[in-house]
Structure 1
């Protein structure tokens, strides 16, 4: 069990103890107990060997909102490409080097890039940390994918480190 999971479990235990002390078994008492536990764990964060789990939760929420914004912007780009009178696209493959280290970080990055319209990760060279990406329109998509990759990498590093 990771140490972040221990902090979350400790927070749940505090919330349940809070419910025992108030002799009320409802959602409002649990939420207030969880909030009290959250503040308690935040106050004691220097005694834990890892960082406070609230920072990780905030980083995950940022990553989700970043993905949603990139999904919307790339969907608009694909809609513009498809609704043109003449489809003038130049598909191609390019490679992207990543600074991420663990397997699941690279897998998450490739999934996030693949889920954005107009680009698909077709191969991952784990040894060299290289993603091979097929883009719908190389001149437009390559710059956007590189920009999105940089944003996603930074957000993933916030979550994992």
Structure 2
């Protein structure tokens, strides 16, 4: 991935030199970068790795998914806090994840912690079972499990080609 990006930068710099302009201009550099993307897309199968922008799009998708889940869970938590008639049923959930590497499990745990209403209490020594505390198990359990599955799916897209 990094080699493809560096090669794309090299193509954009070469494009600037080939344009034979007096000064370095951003539009010329940008057009060279876009030409480099096109060239690398055509030739990426010869590198033996997937096209590098696929991973970049996956990272952007992860950010959008996190922001959506953050907003949705924040609304649920605000509803639970602002409505005095609501009774809370805090609880602990065990979730067996299909993520394997330390980086993937850590990213999942951090995303769960950053989502309001849930905290990862413990990760098993094997790294495949997360103990999660939810603020209200009755109302938010299904939403939390849906969020975790979505996080897992996007983390797999980012970490595995």
The TM-score bracket by the shorter chain reads over 0.9
**Stretch deviating more after TM superposition (64-73 or 24-33):** 24-33
Instruction: Please report how far the alpha carbon of residue 141 of structure 1 lies from its aligned counterpart in structure 2 after TM superposition.
Output: 2.0
Runs of 4+ with >6 A deviation: none
Question: Structure 1 pair 43/51, CA: closer, same or farther in 2 (3 Å)?
Answer: same
Q: TM-score, normalised by structure 2?
A: 0.94
1:67-82 alignment runs, 5 A limit: 67-82=66-81
**Does the 8 Å contact 1:92/1:135 carry over to 2?**
yes
Q: TM-score, normalised by structure 1?
A: 0.94
**Number of residue pairs the alignment of both structures matches:** 158
Q: Which runs of 5+ in 1 are unaligned?
A: none
Instruction: Please report how far the alpha carbon of residue 123 of structure 1 lies from its aligned counterpart in structure 2 after TM superposition.
Output: 1.1
Q: Deviations over 1:83-137 (max 9, x none)?
A: 0123411111111110011100110111111111000111111405111111100
Where 2:9 maps in the other structure, the secondary structure is helix
**Does the 8 Å contact 1:45/1:51 carry over to 2?**
yes
**Does the 8 Å contact 1:63/1:156 carry over to 2?**
yes
Aligned position for 2:106: 107
1:1-161 alignment runs, 5 A limit: 4-22=1-19, 23=21, 24-161=23-160
**Does the 8 Å contact 1:119/1:141 carry over to 2?**
no
